[in-house]
Amino acid sequence: MSDDHSPIRTLKQKWNEEDAERATQEARAQQIFLEAGANHTFAPIEDFLVRLNEVLSAAGASVQIESWQHLDDRRLRRVAKVLASNPLQTLPLDFTIHGVSIFYHEKVFRFDSGAAALILAITADVEQFLTPHRTSAG
C-alpha cells in the first residue's frame, strides 16, 4: 500500500516545492518593482545628497546613503547618514517611501511638489547638526 502512495506523495512534494519557488520569485519581483518606483521618487533627494556629500567633504564631513529596506504595506525605508569627523558624530536622515510620497520627520512630501521643501528641511537639519562643529573648529 505504501508503494501506491509514494508517487502521489512525491508529486505533491514536487508541487509544493514549485509553489514555494514561484512565491519566492514573485516576492522578489515585487521588491524589484517597489525599489524601481522608490528610486524614481527618491531620485531628486539622492541627487541632492550626492551633491551635499561633495560640499561637505571640504569641511571634513560626508554623506553615506544606505540601500533600501523593505517595510510592510509596500513601504520602503532608506537612511542616509551625515558623518562629521571632528568629533566623530552621525546625523541619520531617515526616509520612508510609500508610492509617490516621502515621509521625513513624520511629515509627508509628495514627489511632484514636495522635493524642494524636503531639500530645505534636510539642509536645515544638516546645518543645525554641523553648526557646533564649525564653531569648535573655527
What pLDDT shows up at residue 133? 53
What pLDDT shows up at residue 65? 96
What pLDDT shows up at residue 23? 92
Q: How far apart are CA 116 and CA 63, in angstroms?
A: 19
Q: Is 111 helix (H, G, I), strand (E, B) or coil?
A: coil
Q: Which three cell numbers stand for residue 67?
A: 540601500
Helix axes 115-137, 2-57, angle to 10 degrees: 60
Collect all residues with Cβ–Cβ distance below 8 Å to 136 and sequence separation of at least 6. 86
How many Cα atoms are found within 13 Å in the side-chain-facing hemisphere of 66? 15
Number of structural domains in the chain: 1
What pLDDT shows up at residue 128? 92
Q: How far apart are CA 41 and CA 97, in angstroms?
A: 8
pLDDT tens digit at each of 138 positions of the chain: 455 568 888 888 889 899 899 999 999 999 999 999 999 999 999 999 999 999 999 888 999 999 999 998 889 999 999 999 877 899 999 999 998 899 999 899 987 777 899 999 999 999 999 887 555 544
What pLDDT shows up at residue 1? 45
Contact 93/104 with Cβ under 8 angstroms? yes
Q: How far apart are CA 52 and CA 110, in angstroms?
A: 21
What pLDDT shows up at residue 99? 87
DSSP 1: -
Segments in the chain forming alpha helices (H)? 2-57, 115-137
Q: Which domain holds residue 116?
A: 2-137
What pLDDT shows up at residue 129? 92
Confidence (pTM): 0.78
